[in-house]
A and B are shown apart, each in its own frame.
Chain A
Amino acid sequence: MSISVNLFLPELFQIVLVLMLFFQSISKSQVLRNDGFWVPVAAAIGIGVSVASLSAEGMLFHNAYKIDMLSQFFKLAIAVGFFIATLNARQQSTLDANKETDYFLFLAFSAMGLQFLSSSVELITIFVALEISSYALYAVIPVRARDKQAAEAGIKYILFGAVATAVSLYGLSFILSSQHTSYLSMLSGLDWHFATNPMAVIGLSMFLAGMFYKLALFPFHFWCPDVYQGASNETAAYVATLPKLGAVVVLIRLAAILTPHTEVTMIFAVLGAASMTFGNLSALVQRDVKRILGFSSVSHAGYVMLGLVAGTPKGLAAAAFYSLVYILMNLTCFWVICKISPKGENVTLDDLDGLYKRSPYMALILAVSAFALVGLPPTAGFIGKLFLLTSAWDHGYNWFVIVAAVNTAIAIYYYLGLVRHAYTVEPVDKRQLEPMDVGGMNVVWGTVLAAVILLLGAIPAPVFSLAKAAGVQLLP
């Protein structure tokens, strides 16, 4: 077996990054050990590496690892997300000063696992990659100094994760015993009908539980709002976004092997519809902004399913495009939350009161991200949702599209709540009227994020073409 390094560049870069962080974190020099100032810079270089290897193609590790347009698209998305997350996590008040490199080490480790996940085309490899990305997060979530909620969140994440892993592994055994292969390429031609091969369908459904858990799809979402609430703002920003990319890429690969209207695709659709409805209705009554975003991510997981059930290259491309847009929108929203909470405390809707006066730019960035999350034009959120809805129509899932459209109308209430509090509610507490210093660079980066959301909404064609190329490769 010969391994071409060219095929493996983004992963290699990430491995080097992880190793550097590892050595830095065990270094004896206090000065060296505690500062991860260089990590965002390295993460930015990582984006460059991912862009450079966009067109790479090939198979590695006995065909268990596939480098194609889809994997490279997602690696790029992960690199972008990782960059923003590290930039965001640079100043954390709730993190002990001497834990910064450890923190970045775990984040980088998790991102590395996600990159592996995007290229895995064999079930056991997928499983291992998923675990690599998860274990790092199990360690990171409770890292919030002196906070019981953080410990609770950590335990919840681990316990739910362990159960999901167990179910997944059990499902994997079913698939292996009924289909006698774990390679996606070989699984695609096999029988996936419940009537003739029930064990395989049950096995796949159980295997998917692991992905659904990562994606926080109903009914595997119970950890999500609690973990977001318990974790520090910066950690929540990471957990809420990047792991979902990993789950989506696996689901896209699995969706490509399933023909529409089989029982498993129907499960996608039903869970998707339930997820968006449940997520939105639950979000309506929340006051903690991170809990709102937690439930909103449950509903967004449902939206992504729209692209997966269609069984067309465009559908898969729409799901990929929307995942990228989703992490951008969500990271932008979290960006504001992290920056307006200098002590690292959780932000409630009341804390947003009068944000407009304290920091007009942050209020504007929050408004752009909230309207993008609703799917209001002219943001990328709208165009992503349009692609998703359009791709699912006329493939037997019209009801699903209508449910999604109605859900958009429900969702507007709580997203609008964010904007409403920031712009129209006068704060009761006089301290909330004082101008807030969020730092010039934070405003600049936030503005860049918001601008990208608007730009992707206005000119989606180049990125969508990339996603479509990935989709066409899977479903020619």
Chain B
Amino acid sequence: MIDAGYPVLTTLIFFPLAATLPLLLYKTEKMIRWYTLVIGFCEMLLAAPLLGFELGTAKMQFVEKVPWVPEWNLNYYLGLDGISLFMILLTVILLPLCTMCSWTYISKRIKEFHICLMLMTSACVGVFVAMDFVLFYIFWEAMLVPMYLLIAVWGGPERRYASIKFFLYTLAGSTLLLVAIIALYYQTGTFSIPELMHRGYGFEFQCWVFGAMALAFAIKVPMFPFHTWLPAAHVQAPSAGSVYLASILLKMGTYGFLRFCLPITPLASQYFAPLMIAVSLAGIIYGGLTALGQSDIKKLIAYSSVSHMGFVTLGIFLFNLRGVEGAIMQMLNHGIVTGALFMLVGAVYERSHSREMADNMGLGKYLPAYMGFFGLFALASFGFPGTNSFVGEALVLFGAFAFDPWIGAISIPGAMIAAAYMLRLGLKMAWGQPASPEGGHGHWYDLTPREWAYLTPLAILVFYIGLAPGLCMKVIDPSLEKLLGDFRTDVVQVQMEDKSLADYAPELPVAVAEN
């Protein structure tokens, strides 16, 4: 393990935050953009020690713990395991990429825009490394403000409506999460996440806590039927905002399920699993079918996110290694691929000033390199073999079949619909008959070096994870095995303690035996 010699996680959280202050002094647009880009690369460099992550162990790494409010047993407690590592790396690489993809896209209030990007980065890293539940909640909520501003200030014509909807939905969900945190505190006297796990709470208590937490996470994912804020927010947000939404924010919900619901409320998770699986399947099919009917490219990708995130939640609630492994891989893959697709939509919008499919057809002829990237990410999006999403989706499907062949069978059409809407989109954009000989209203020009610069690293990741997923697995697996292993012992242990449990959940012994 690389010894960084400094508190890596704290630095990653507070470096972008501190970097916003000098930004206030910059005057010219160019300086601001270059400064943010440099800060983004510095943040990536500062994250380099994370590559020394010790494989083969499930223990928390890079831990930092300092008392914060001793009266309430609150600690500034950070740590990192296989579940959160990739999400942090993804967050960190997004700052320079988003700065680049907004280079010409954002033309007003440039300074504030870049401050928002930096604040987002700080809060998002914080969410994934917080090991104290209150600290987690603070980052979870703090992230809302810059995201709200990104949509409300730099968004499309309906930005006010979309931003308020986003804010109200997510905040309403999280207030109950706060109640769950407080309830857990009173059961255990601690806010420390590792300590809150495996305490063996009573079944009824678990159900209440699970309900409150799951609502907050389900809204964030967003799971059907809590998804209505997502298309509005995605469509109205500027490219960088959509990228952050798709790549990081949605993952916070699924991360919450993995980090809190499964280990803290295992019995309730089991009990509600059929419901969660059903809702996930509904999301997969509904999101896919709705995407199929869209003519706005951004809306199409937004609905495809609902469908893809359905796969992630499905994987999580299968409770087998393959399913959860696939879910985590899909979290990462969806972040890369959908993020890239939103960047591409932003790029084409800059050219044609339209996101309608009809206005952006026949690009194969005018923008070959662009269409090359678009094709790659579209293929990756529906899980074409050789790309990263294939690995994740296949693992979830394996898990689904292992859990119950019927569930596997129902989720297969979801993957097929994804192929349908993505191929239809790619087909029309590449070879469709353009509205005018010049191809829409805009002046077509192919990818600029700047666009190459932010698309290439993502394309490399698509292939790297798709062709050699072994390293990712090695990082994830120990943490997952621990999660699922503890999960099983917990179920058994609490069952033995609480004989009346069978009255509530008669199917539990079967689930244990299957695992």
Residues of B within 8 A of A382 (CB): 138, 141
Q: Which listed segment binds A: B68-76, B376-384, B389-397, B416-424?
A: B68-76
Chain A: interface residue total (CB-CB under 8 A): 34
| CB within 8 Å for A386 and B178 given contacts A314-B71, A424-B159, A464-B69 | yes
Q: Do B178 and A389 have beta carbons less than 8 Å apart?
A: yes
Establish whether residues A420 and B142, one from each chain, have CB atoms under 8 Å apart when the complex forms. no
Which chain A positions have C-beta within 8 A of B72? 314, 387, 390
Does any Cβ of A come within 8 Å of B168's Cβ?
yes
Mark out the residues of chain A between 402 and 448 whose CB falls within 8 Å of any chain B CB in the assembled complex. 402, 405-406, 408-409, 412-413, 416, 420, 423-425
Interchain CA distance A425-B159 in the complex, whole Å: 11
* Chain B interface, DSSP helix/strand/loop, else mixed: helix
CA distance A393 to B172 in the complex (A): 19
B134-179 residues with Cβ-Cβ distance < 8 A to A are 134, 137-139, 141-142, 144-145, 148-149, 152-153, 159-160, 163-164, 167-168, 171-172, 175-176, 178-179
Are A468 and B145 touching (Cβ within 8 A)? no
A371, A382, A405 pick with most chain B CB within 10 angstroms: A405
* B171 contact from A367, A389, A394, A412, Cβ within 8 A: A412
- Pick the residue among B68, B70, B182 that contacts A401 (CB under 8 A): B182
Contact in complex: B142, A423 (CB < 8 Å): no
B159 & A412 in contact (Cβ 8 Å cutoff)? no
**Cα distance, A314 to B68, chains bound together (Å):** 16
**B148: A residues at CB distance < 8 A:** 416
Q: Is the interface of A mostly helix, strand, loop or mixed?
A: helix
Which residues from chain A contact B164 at a C-beta distance below 8 Å? Answer: 413, 416, 420
Cβ A408 vs Cβ B175 within 8 A = yes
Q: Which B-chain residue is minimally distant from A423 (CB atoms)?
A: B153
| A198 CB contacts on chain B under 8 angstroms | none
Q: Is the CB of B179 within 8 A of A389?
A: yes
Partner of A390, one of B70, B139, B153, B182: B182
Which of B70, B152, B172, B186 is close to A420, meaning CB atoms less than 8 Å apart? B152
Q: Is residue B183 contacting chain A, with contact meaning CB distance below 8 A?
A: yes
Indicate if the CB atoms of A423 and B141 lie closer than 8 Å: no
Question: Which of A367, A371, A377, A461 has the most chain B CB within a 10 Å cutoff?
Answer: A377
Say whether, besides A461-B70, A468-B71, A377 and B138 are in contact (CB < 8 Å). yes
Taking a contact as CB atoms closer than 8 A, the residue among A383, A390, A420, A425 that contacts B185 in the complex is: A390
**Please, how many residues of chain B have a CB less than 8 angstroms from a CB on the other chain?**
33
Bound complex: CA A464 to CA B186 (Å): 19
Contact indicator B186/A394 (Cβ below 8 Å)? yes
Enumerate chain A residues within 8 angstroms of B179, measured Cβ to Cβ.
389, 393, 401-402, 405
Judging by beta carbons under 8 Å apart, are A405 and B141 in contact?
no
Give the distance to chain B from A373, nearest Cβ to Cβ, in Å. 14
CB pair B153–A460 under 8 Å, yes or no, is no
Is A378 within 8 A of B142, CB to CB?
yes
The digit string for A347-388, where 1 denotes a CB below 8 A from any CB of B, is 000000000000000000001000100001110001100110
Give bound CA distance, A456 to B152, whole Å.
28
Q: In the complex, A465 Cα to B163 Cα: how many Å? A: 38
Report how far A206 CA is from B171 CA in the complex, Å: 38
User: Is A389 in contact with B182, judged by CB distance below 8 angstroms?
Assistant: yes
Q: Chain A contacts of B71 at CB under 8 A?
A: 314, 317, 461, 464-465, 468
User: A350 → chain B, closest Cβ, in Å?
Assistant: 14
Task: Assess whether A376 is in contact with B142, with CB atoms less than 8 Å apart.
Answer: yes
| A405–B142 touching, CB < 8 Å | no
Flag if A424 contacts B70 (CB, 8 Å): no
Residues of A within 8 A of B134 (CB): 386
Question: Contact mask A25-47 → B, CB, 8 Å, 1/0?
Answer: 00000000000000000000000
Flag if A376 contacts B175 (CB, 8 Å). Answer: no
Closest CB in chain A relative to B442 CB, distance in Å: 26
The answer to whether A424 touches B138, judged by C-beta atoms less than 8 angstroms apart, is no
A406-B175, A460-B69 known; A371 vs B145 contact (CB < 8 Å)? yes
How many Å from the CB of A285 to the closest CB on chain B?
Answer: 16
B171 lies within 8 A of A405 (CB) = no
Residues from chain B with a CB closer than 8 A to the CB of A409 are 168, 171-172, 175
Closest to A407 in B: B175
What CA separation (Å) do A406 and B168 show in the bound complex? 12
A398 surroundings in chain B (CB, below 8 A): 183
B163 touches which of A389, A412, A424 (Cβ 8 Å): A424
Interface residues of B in 37-77 (CB under 8 A from A): 68-72
Task: Output the nearest chain B residue to A461 by Cβ-Cβ distance.
Answer: B69
In the bound complex, CA of A412 to CA of B165 (Å): 11
Nearest neighbor of A398 in chain B, beta-carbon distance:
B183
Chain B residues whose CB sits within 8 angstroms of the CB of A468 once the complex forms:
71
Closest approach, in angstroms, between the C-beta of B179 and any C-beta of chain A? 5
Cα–Cα distance between A406 and B171 once the two chains are bound (Å): 10
For the complex, what is the distance from the CA of A446 to the CA of B106, rounded to whole Å? 30
Q: In the complex, what distance in Å separates the CA atom of A249 from the CA atom of B23? A: 44
The residue that A423 contacts in the complex, of B152, B167, B178, B183, with Cβ under 8 A, is: B152
C-alpha gap A70/B182 in the complex (Å): 26
Q: Point out the residues of chain B lying under 8 angstroms from A423, CB to CB.
A: 149, 152-153
CA of A409 to CA of B68 in the docked complex: distance in angstroms?
27
**Minimum CB distance partner of A386 in chain B:** B134
Q: How far is the CA of A393 from the CA of B160 in the complex (A)?
A: 36
> Once bound together, how far apart are the Cα atoms of A420 and B168, in whole Å?
13
Q: Find the residue from A420, A425, A465 having the highest chain B CB count within 10 A.
A: A420
If A389-B179, A402-B179, A423-B153 touch, whether A412 touches B168 (CB-CB below 8 Å) is yes
Q: Tell me the smallest distance from the CB of B302 to a CB of chain A, in Å.
A: 21
Least CB distance, B218 to chain A, in whole angstroms: 16
CB nearest to B183 among chain A residues:
A393
- Kindly list chain B residues whose C-beta atoms are within 8 Å of the C-beta of A371: 145
List, in ascending order, chain A residues with CB within 8 A of B160's CB. 420, 424-425
B186 near A393 with CB under 8 A, answer: yes
Instruction: Check A424/B142 contact, CB under 8 A, given A390-B182, A401-B179, A468-B71.
Output: no
CB contact under 8 A between A378 and B175, given known A393-B183, A424-B152, A424-B153: no
For B172, the chain A residues whose CB sits under 8 A away are 409, 412
Q: Tell me, in angstroms, the Cα distance from A390 to B187 when the chains sit together.
A: 12
Most buried by B among A367, A386, A425: A386
Q: Which residues of A contact B144 (CB under 8 A)?
A: 376
- CB B63 to nearest CB in A, in angstroms, measures 21
Please measure, in the bound complex, the distance between the C-alpha atom of A243 and the C-alpha atom of B138, giving whole angstroms. 31
**Measured CA separation A90–B164 after assembly (Å):** 37
Q: Which residue of B lies closest to A417 (CB)?
A: B164
Q: How near does chain B come to A466, taking the closest CB pair, in angstroms?
A: 11
Question: Given A409-B168, A413-B168, A460-B69 in contact, is the A376-B182 Cβ separation under 8 Å?
Answer: no
Contact of A405 among B69, B139, B149, B175 (CB under 8 A): B175
Whole-angstrom distance between the Cβ of A446 and the nearest chain B Cβ? 16
Known: A386-B134, A387-B72. A393 touches B152 (CB 8 A): no
A420: B residues at CB distance < 8 A: 152, 160, 163-164
- When distances are taken between beta carbons in the complex, the residues of chain A under 8 Å from B175 are 405-406, 408-409
CB distance from B191 to the nearest CB of A (A): 9
Q: Smallest distance from the beta carbon of B163 to chain A beta carbons, Å?
A: 7
Q: From residue A391, how far is it (CB to closest CB) to chain B in Å? A: 9
Whole-angstrom distance between the Cβ of A36 and the nearest chain B Cβ:
35
Chain A interface residues (CB < 8 Å from chain B): 314, 317, 367, 371, 376-378, 382-383, 386-387, 389-390, 393-394, 398, 401-402, 405-406, 408-409, 412-413, 416, 420, 423-425, 460-461, 464-465, 468
26 pairs of residues in contact across A and B, judged by CB atoms under 8 Å = A317-B71, A376-B141, A376-B171, A386-B178, A386-B182, A387-B72, A389-B178, A389-B182, A390-B185, A393-B182, A393-B185, A401-B179, A402-B179, A409-B171, A409-B175, A412-B168, A413-B164, A416-B164, A420-B160, A420-B163, A420-B164, A424-B152, A424-B159, A461-B68, A464-B71, A465-B71
Pick the 9 closest A-B CB pairs, nearest first: A377-B138, A409-B172, A394-B186, A405-B175, A424-B152, A377-B141, A461-B69, A393-B182, A409-B175
Besides the contacts A314-B71, A377-B142, A461-B70, what 12 more A-B pairs have beta carbons closer than 8 Å?
A371-B145, A382-B141, A383-B69, A390-B186, A393-B185, A394-B186, A401-B179, A408-B171, A413-B164, A416-B167, A461-B68, A464-B71
